[in-house]
């Protein structure tokens, strides 16, 4: 399996508190992604990164920010958590090889509950 | 981003072949078709990817007709352990840079004895 570590794996916090989730990879892949998964919605892209300090928004980016200061780490921050952000968060990594599309590899997720 | 449509659920029995069809009418020229499998409490896992015609690997086959508006994932001789959610995705190819994939709600496959 691809070397992707998400931390923490589980977190319970209160509304209004800041939360940071970390994704760490050992594959040296250029692209990193944050998704959230909710019942009835499948996985939805929050933000993604196409290099160090290069990030862009996905389809559900409101209320989230990201940072990537090193190739191996991609942080997702909820500045002021709300109950609607209770979800399972998945990090994924991807690469382009010989100009061909390569599949993404996913971490095991972080279950976040906001009370 | 191309939208995909696939059945919400399917049931099968051990040893049978399962075919899951996905519709993607507005697929773009540079889009690839990728299938992922997801077990509870785990991240999705790549199964197979294709651009056109037929692709086969050790776990599945992917059939893509000439117009590429649909694709069919074929799982030969399924077992109980194939019970999972299967996602069909259509994503940008090389000219789009990194893959901005759109996941639908997937197909819940249940395999019984």
The 10s digit of each residue's pLDDT in A5-63 is: 999 999 999 999 999 999 999 999 988 999 999 987 788 889 999 899 999 998 899 99
User: Which of the four pLDDT bands, split at 50, 70 and 90, describes residue A94?
Assistant: confident
For residue A50, give both structure tokens: 């196409």
Q: Is the backbone peptide bond immediately before A8 cis, with ω within 30 degrees of 0?
A: yes
**Shortest Cα–Cα distance, B41 to chain A (Å):** 7
Q: Which among A35, A43, A96 has the least Cβ separation from residue B94?
A: A96
A30 contact residues in B (CB cutoff 8 A): 98
Interface test with A, best of B3, B9, B31, B99 (most A CBs within 10 A): B99
Nearest to A13 by CA among A86, A108, A107, A88: A86
Residue B18 has pLDDT above 70, yes or no: yes
Which of the two residues, B1 and A93, has the higher pLDDT score? Answer: A93
B29 contact residues in A (CB cutoff 8 A): none
Assign domain B9-112 to a CATH class.
Answer: mainly beta
Nearest to B111 by CA among B35, B33, B15: B15
Residue B39 has pLDDT above 90, yes or no: yes
- Residue ranges of domains in chain B: 9-112
State how far the alpha carbon of B111 is from the alpha carbons of A112, B11, B16, in Å.
30, 6, 9
Which of the two residues, B30 and A107, has the higher pLDDT score? Answer: A107
Burial class (CB in 10 A: 0-12, 13-18, 19+), A12: exposed
Residue A9 has a pLDDT of 96
Residue A71 has pLDDT above 70, yes or no: yes
- Residue ranges of domains in chain A: 4-114
Q: What kind of architecture, by CATH, is found in domain A4-114?
A: Sandwich (2.60)
């Amino acid at each position: 399996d691809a070397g992707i570590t998400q931390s923490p794996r589980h977190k319970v916090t209160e509304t209004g508190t800041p939360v940071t989730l970390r994704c760490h990879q050992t594959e040296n892949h250029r692209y990193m992604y944050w998704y959230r998964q909710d019942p009835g919605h499948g996985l939805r892209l929050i933000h993604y990164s196409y290099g160090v300090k290069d990030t862009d928004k996905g389809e559900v980016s409101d209320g989230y920010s990201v940072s990537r200061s090193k190739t191996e780490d991609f942080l997702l921050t909820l500045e002021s958590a709300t109950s609607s952000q209770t979800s399972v968060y998945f990090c994924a990594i991807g690469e382009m090889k010989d100009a061909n599309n390569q599949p993404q590899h996913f971490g095991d997720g972080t279950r976040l509950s906001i009370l | 981003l191309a939208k995909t449509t696939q059945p919400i659920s399917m049931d099968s029995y051990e040893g049978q072949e399962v075919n899951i069809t996905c519709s993607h009418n507005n697929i773009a020229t540079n889009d690839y078709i990728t299938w992922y499998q997801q077990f509870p409490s785990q991240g999705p896992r790549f199964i197979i990817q294709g651009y056109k015609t037929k692709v086969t690997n050790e776990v599945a086959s992917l059939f893509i007709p000439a117009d590429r508006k649909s694709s069919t994932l074929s799982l030969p001789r399924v077992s109980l352990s194939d019970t999972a959610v299967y996602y069909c995705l259509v994503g940008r190819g090389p000219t789009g840079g990194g893959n901005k994939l759109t996941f639908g709600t997937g197909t819940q496959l249940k395999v019984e004895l």
